[in-house]
Amino acid sequence: MPTVGDVAQVLEQLAPLALAEDWDNVGLLVGDAAWPAERVMTCLTVTADTVAEALAEGANLIVSHHPLPFRPVKTITAETTVGRLLLQLVKHSIAVYSPHTAFDSASAGINQHLAIGLGLQEILALTPLASDPEEGAGRHGLVGEPLTRRELAERTKQFLNIGAVRIVGADDQSVSRVAIACGSGGSFLDAAAKAGCDVLVTGEASFHTCLEAESLGMGLILAGHFASERFALLSLADYLTDQLPGATVWASRRERDPLRVV
């Protein structure tokens, strides 16, 4: 039977923690590396729903993209959401591992998967590491065939299996080079512009970032934070299943995007 430490080693090979941003909190965040990891659940975020599922399904380990805890905590009590979740996890010996920005930036990480899923070619990191140009934050690449922003938006919807995206810029503007930044990726706008990209595909961006994109003549396609990352947790569950004989691994079935379009 694999241990939490065994799973951590597999994840470290896929998404080395050295790739994580300095401000991030990654790795084994709750639990003991020696604990068993016979049942592993992946999810985007540790919430009351995903913890309830982990308890109901007898999970030993939650691999959550978003860290819990993320920021330092001074107290762990039932008076806060973070405290309540941590108390439940420790009480039932459920460990938590988060790869977060290490998984975003890895050569086989979320941004790479999203770029491939959108059919980009000659894919490069948007802010490559000096040690390995295939690793680093964000991605950019060529579409390979003439596309408009609307056509790229439709391709994004199809790949992520969502009903709508938001667009900044004219629908019929042609697209050649596309930047990718999963999650809240508005901060990559300047890097995308410097790379000569026509559009940045991300999860969400602030109102002022949208205005800045307009001023730069660059398009934005906003797929939603959840949709831009959640798909990768499904494939991560499949990957861990292949790498961990004897373990049962699944992607959370209760997790949902908290935002709805009405």
Ranges of the chain whose pLDDT falls below 70: none
CA distance 139 to 195: 10
- Label the pairing between strands 27-30 and 95-98: antiparallel
Closest listed residue to residue 221, CA positions, set 195, 206, 202? 202
Give the chain's length: 262
Reduced to 3 states (helix: H, G, I; strand: E, B; else coil), residue 113 is: helix
User: CB–CB of 257/183 below 8 Å?
Assistant: no
Domains of the chain and any CATH numbers: 4-103 (3.40.1390.30), 107-227 (3.40.1390.30)
Q: What is the DSSP string of 64-95?
A: ESS-SS-S--S---TTSHHHHHHHHHHHTT-E
pLDDT at 199 (0 to 100) = 97
Fill in the DSSP letter of residue 3.
B
pLDDT at 131 (0 to 100) = 77
> Measured on CA atoms in the order 206, 208, 211, 216, is the torsion positive or negative?
negative
Taking the alpha carbons at both ends of the chain, their separation in whole angstroms is 46
Reduced to 3 states (helix: H, G, I; strand: E, B; else coil), residue 179 is: strand
pLDDT at 252 (0 to 100) = 98
- CA dist 5 → 19, 32, 76, 202, 240 (Å): 19, 8, 24, 33, 13
Entry pTM: 0.94
% of the chain surpassing 90 pLDDT: 92
pLDDT at 102 (0 to 100) = 96
pLDDT at 134 (0 to 100) = 75
Looking at this protein, which amino acid is placed at residue 53?
E
CA distance 152 to 40: 35
Beta bridge partners of 97: 28, 63
Fill in the DSSP letter of residue 217.
T
pLDDT at 146 (0 to 100) = 86
